[in-house]
Amino acid sequence: MDLFEFQGKQHLARFGVPVSTGGVAAGVDAAVATADSAGYPVVVKAQVQVGGRGKAGGIRACVDADQVRSAADAILGMVISGHTVRRVLVEGAVDIAAEWYASFTVDRSARRHLGLLSAEGGVDIEQVAADRPAAIERLHLGPAAGLAAEAAAGWAARAGLPPAAVPALLSLYRSFAEGDADLVEVNPLVLTGDGRVLALDAKVTLDDNAAYRHPEWAAFAGLEVLDDRERLAHEKGLQYVGLDGTVGVIANGAGLAMSTLDVVNQAGGSPANFLDIGGGASAAVMASALDVLASDERVRSIFVNIFGGITRGDEVARGIVAALARAGGGAPVVVRIDGTNAEEGRALLAAHQSERLVSRATMQAAAEEAVRLARA
C-alpha cells in the first residue's frame, strides 16, 4: 500500500520521527484555515503519488492567507503525470541548514534490511547513485537484531551526518521494522537553522500482508489510488502489482511469482503484472485471478506457474478450465503445474487443450511459449 506524503508523515510520527507542523486540506478555505493554524510562512504541497510535483508547480511557498488561497486554488484539480490533485498538505516553512537522504527497505537478495543514507538530500537520489555512488552509505541489518544506537551513530558519521541526526534515524528504522513497511524514504531529512531535525517529505509503502495487525491502516486504504486492474484484484483479495508488459503472470507464492517474472524476462518477454494467488488457492481463486488478467487489454498471453504444496494441481486446473469456459475469448493461457496432484491437473488440462489453453512440463518451456504467443 503506497501512502500519500501526509499519510506517510502520520505513519512516521507514530514512531517518533519529527515532522513539520501542518495538516491536509481538500478545499481552499480549509487550506487557509490550516495555514492560519500552522503559522506563516507556509508551504502548500500537492498530494499525489508521483514525483515531479515541484517542476509541475505543485509546491508553493506562501507568506500570507491570500497567497495560500491563490496557491490552493491553482493546485487543487491540477493533473500531475496523470494524477489529479484532490488534497494539499499545508505545513509551516522552515529555515534549512542541511538536507540529507535516508531510507530503509528490504534487500531480498541479501535477505536483510537495507538502509541508505546520504548527505546529499533534496535531489534525485537515483542520479546521485549513478554519478557519485560513494555519496550513499549503505547499511545491511539483520531483521532480528535491528538497528542499535551505536550502529546508527557510526552509519551517520560515515555518511557525513552529525550526531543530531541519529535519533531520527533510529525512529525511522522503527517506523520501517515495527511499522511493517516495505519502504520508508525521507528526502529530504533536514537540519533546521535552530538545530532541529525534521522529515520534510515522506514516501512510505506498507506491507499489505501485515494489515491484520494494523486496524489503523483502514484510513489509509480508503484514499489509496488504484488503477482498474489493481482495484479489481483487491476486491477479489488477490496480491497484485500492475506492470507494463504483455505476458500476464499468475503464481502461487511471492517467491515463485518473482522467479516467474525473471524467467519471462530471460525468455525475451515483458511481464504485465505480479499476481500471487497464495499457498492454498482454490479453483475459485484461480478463476478470479484469470478474470483480473482478462480485464487488462495489454495482456497478450497468460503464464500460470503453479508448484503444489498446499495448493492442489487438480484444483488449479479446474479453476483454469472453468474460467476459460466462462470468459469465452481472450488471451491464450500457458500452464505449468508441478507438485501435489500435478498429474491429475495435467490430465484435466490435456482434456481441454486448445489454441487458447496450452500445458508445458517445465517453467522455462512454459515461459518461452507464453512469450511466443504474446508476440504472435
CATH of the domain at 81: 3.30.1490.20
Q: Looking at the domain assignment, is residue 10 inside a domain?
A: no
Catalytic option among 5, 101, 120, 315:
101
pLDDT of residue 114: 96
Q: Give, in degrees to the nearest 5, the angle at Cα 374 between 371 and 376.
A: 110
> Each residue of 239-279: pLDDT tens digit?
888 888 999 999 988 788 889 999 999 999 999 998 988 76
Angle between helices 283-294 and 313-327 (to 10 degrees): 40
Residues 152 and 47 in one domain: no
- Where residue 355 falls among pLDDT bands split at 50, 70, 90? confident
CATH number of residue 347's parent domain? 3.40.50.261
The torsion region of residue 47 among left (phi > 0), alpha (psi -120 to 50) and beta comes to beta
Least confident of 38-42, 282-286, 306-310, 353-357: 282-286
Q: For strand 42-46 and strand 59-62, is the pairing parallel, antiparallel, or unpaired?
A: antiparallel
Question: Residue 226: pLDDT above 70?
Answer: no
Q: Is 118 part of any domain?
A: yes
pLDDT at 364: 95
- Residues 137, 185, 368, 369: which is the catalytic one? 185
Query: What is the number of structural domains in the chain?
Result: 3
The range of the structural domain enclosing residue 195 comes to 96-215
Are the C-beta atoms of 53 and 71 separated by less than 8 Å? no
Lowest mean pLDDT among 76-90, 132-146, 208-222, 226-240: 226-240
In sequence order, the β-bridge partners of residue 44 are: 60, 90
- pLDDT value of position 281: 59
Residue in 197, 138, 201, 143 with CA at minimum distance from that of residue 167: 197
Q: What is the DSSP string of 258-281?
A: HHHHHHHHHTT--B-EEEE--TT-
Q: Are residues 286 and 350 in the same domain?
A: yes
Burial letters 54-87, b for 16+ CB under 10 A, else e: eebebbbebeeeebbbebbebbbebebeebebbb
Listed residues 55, 76, 92: the one ending a domain: 92
- 152 with 259, same domain? no
Is the domain of 120 the same as that of 154? yes
Q: Is the pLDDT of residue 237 over 80?
A: no
- Tens-digit pLDDT profile for residues 291-326: 888 888 889 999 999 887 777 888 888 888 887 887
- 186 lies in the same domain as 250: no
Confidence check: pLDDT of 130 > 60: yes
- The 3-state DSSP class for residue 43 equals strand
**Residue 1 resides in a domain:** no
Domain membership flag for residue 261: yes
Is 101 assigned a catalytic role?
A: yes
Question: 131 or 25: which carries more pLDDT confidence?
Answer: 25
168-212 pLDDT per residue, tens = 999 999 999 999 999 999 999 999 999 999 999 999 999 988 988
In angstroms, rounded to a whole number, what is the distance separating the alpha carbons of residues 28 and 313?
Answer: 56
Q: In this structure, what are the phi and psi dihedrals at residue 268, rounded to the nearest 5 degrees? A: 95, 10
Among 76, 92, 108, identify where a domain stops.
92
**Residue where a domain terminates, one of 193, 215, 237:** 215
Do 313 and 192 fall into the same domain? no
Give the pLDDT of residue 375: 92
Least confident range from 58-62, 128-132, 143-147: namely: 128-132
State yes or no: pLDDT of 223 exceeds 90: no
Q: What is the reported pLDDT for 309? A: 77
Regarding whether 271 and 209 lie in a shared domain, the answer is: no
Question: 347 and 269 in one domain?
Answer: yes
> Are residue 314 and residue 194 in the same domain, yes or no?
no
Residue 185 annotated in active site: yes
Residue 328 DSSP code? -
Give a yes or no: residue 55 inside a domain. Answer: yes
**CATH code, domain with 133:** 3.30.470.20
Q: How far apart are alpha carbons 299 and 327 in whole angstroms?
A: 15
Residue 342 domain flag? yes
1: number of CA atoms within 13 Å, CB side? 23
- The span from the CA of 54 to the CA of 81, in Å, is 12
Q: Assess if residue 8 is contained within a domain.
A: no
Rounded to 5°, the CA angle 239-345-333 comes to 55
Q: How far apart are CA 42 and CA 64, in angstroms?
A: 8
**Distance of alpha carbon 250 from alpha carbon 256, whole angstroms:** 9
Is the same domain home to 272 and 327? yes
Which tens digit of pLDDT belongs to each residue from 331-349? 899 999 998 888 998 999 9
Under 8 Å between Cβ of 114 and 140: yes
- Does one domain contain both 233 and 361? yes
Q: Is residue 171 part of a domain?
A: yes
Answer yes or no: do 162 and 57 share one domain. no
Q: What angle do CA 280, 285, 291 make, to 5 degrees?
A: 150
